[in-house]
């Protein structure tokens, strides 16, 4: 696993054991960032929920994000995220929270331009978390929420003001892009 573009392109990232995570493939990462680069100009602050190795947030930092918050409930994953940030020289542009995504939404107080949600496919649907995020102060009118999920857990086209803007699929991975507002 590596950073595929930007200022730290080519940096090899350590991955947690497969039993803890399902790493995002380079193909899916490339698709996500290609769509983001063509659909949003807001990249200042990024939130990476269910961060695993931190690959999505680190990719955003490499490309042009100024700050990223990473959230994962596994202490092992949190340590790997810190290791990967250090290896990429990005520790000063990030913070790692070792807790559940739902708990993080109760205390985070930044306004995020991009939110990544890439939960394990064995997790039940994340509709409640999307609704909580939609009703929070963490996202604004120009925010984009990127959700990676399995086909067996389909998502709604809207969640309290979040609307599905685009959806793609690659094998068993679906990528849904939500935006706040109309």
Domain boundaries, the chain: 30-180
Q: What dotted CATH number matches 30-180?
A: 3.40.50.150
Strands (E), 65-170: 67-72, 94-98, 112-117, 139-150, 158-159, 162-170
DSSP code, position 123 = S
Q: Is the pLDDT of residue 182 over 60?
A: no
Q: What pLDDT is attached to residue 104?
A: 96
- 38 exposure class (CB count in 10 Å sphere: 0-12, 13-18, 19+): exposed
Residues 23-39: pLDDT tens digits? 677 888 899 999 999 88
Q: Is the pLDDT of residue 151 over 90?
A: no
């Amino acid at each position: 696993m590596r950073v595929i573009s930007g200022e730290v392109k080519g940096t090899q990232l350590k991955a947690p054991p497969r039993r803890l995570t399902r790493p995002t493939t380079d193909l899916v990462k490339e698709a996500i960032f290609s769509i983001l680069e063509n659909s949003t100009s807001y990249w200042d602050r990024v939130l990476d929920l269910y961060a695993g190795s931190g690959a999505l947030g680190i990719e955003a930092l490499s490309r042009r994000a100024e700050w990223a918050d990473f959230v994962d409930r596994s202490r092992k994953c949190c340590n790997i995220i810190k290791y990967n940030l250090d290896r990429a020289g990005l520790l000063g542009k990030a913070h790692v929270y070792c807790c559940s995504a739902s708990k993080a939404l109760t205390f985070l107080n930044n306004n995020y331009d991009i939110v990544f949600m890439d939960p394990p496919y064995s997790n039940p649907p994340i509709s409640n978390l999307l609704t909580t995020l939609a009703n929070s102060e963490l996202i604004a009118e120009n925010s984009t929420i990127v959700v990676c999920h399995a086909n067996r857990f389909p998502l709604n086209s809207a969640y309290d003001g979040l609307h599905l803007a685009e959806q793609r699929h690659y094998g068993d991975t679906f990528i849904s892009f939500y935006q706040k507002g109309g």
